[in-house]
Structure 1
Amino acid sequence: MAVRLCGGLHAVDARLKLALVVAAVLFNVVLLDYRLSLALLVAGWAGMAVSRAPLRQIAWFVLAPAWASLPVVFGLAAGLGQTPLIEIGPLTLYHEGLAQGGQAGLRALADTAWAGLLFLTTPFTEILAALRWFRVPAVVTDTLGFMYRYVFLLWEEFSAMRVSARARGGLSGWRKEWHTTGTITAQVFLRAYDRARRIQQAVQARGGV
């Protein structure tokens, strides 16, 4: 995922970076202090900003968890608390729920920022090597290796099917685009499941798990 560059965060040993990320996530989850979460978030974003990674990849690690956290924040704000903060039609947002939702969202953003910093500055092969050095079971590292390899194959299949659908006019109009994209996604998942079964059978035939 990341482009290997000399110097800076890219030159730091993968084992050290992995240990720092795990420690940051554990402290963030255990201490439950929004100030720590905010500091970790700023540090993670700053690290990604100076990592010289492609802007599109950095944006993915920033925007994707932000969008994913919004339902959690608003769900807690609307369903938890006793002090009304704001009313939006029939929906009431409560101060206590918004505070808890904001802290949960902040922790999620901080954790994904540090995970993004690790992935953007470390080749995945080095991450797997670091996991093996820390005595992570081989079944876990091998599974992660398979996942990393095949996620790109699935993405290529998805992209090729979208190009084919666009050429046939299947993406004209937002409704048709949503329907076509959903159909393609379902087909890709079915192919992934079928491929996973074949891989499992091949591994078992060779005496694996």
Structure 2
Amino acid sequence: MTSIDAAKVALVDRALRVSTAVVVAVGLALAGVAARDEPVELLFYFTVQVNIAYLVVLLAGCGDRLRTALTVYLVGTALVFVLVLANPWSGYAMVANPDARGTISDAGNLLLHAVAPPLAAAQWLHRRPRVALRPAYAVSLLGYPLLWLTVILLRGAFGEAEDRYLYPFLDVPRLGYPTVALNALLFGLTLVLIALTAVRLTRRRCDGLSGGPAG
């Protein structure tokens, strides 16, 4: 790669990183404004936690494995948002809940769920890890979502607020634990499939760089 090519690659990477950071920061700010009466409640949402962590990674320049994990989570939340939460035919659409609506809330949701994930994926594809990831890494990414789910279910079991389970597909009183467990399993499988795709892409990149199969 020539110095000019390297400069172009660096420029594109910087543009993607800055644009993604701006989108995430604005989305989080709008979400915070929309939830100004319950700021602590906002921090329990999986999407908010992942976006905060991803913004820190973008600004601090953390390692490829962490960046990959957060990108997988962001893409997963985007799929859930588009196919489930924002889909009036899914049965779990949050658009049916008037409390979840509002211009500021909608704008924040759009940025965090529909704009930031594609930008993060583009940035990851443009600067894929130089070391090939293994399938076991994809499975290990279930650790954080499982911990988050445990906290949410415990919080819901001992809480009294109607929306204490945060997401309609985790609403134990309405759905029961078997259905909630099935929904969680489907989300977990979705994350693993996305992560395995990322693993495959890193191995293909390393194959191309080395001229032979990755170890």
**TM-score of the pair, normalised by structure 2:** 0.29
Of the two, which has the highest radius of gyration? 1
TM-score by length of 1: 0.30
The structure with more strand, counted as a fraction of residues: 1
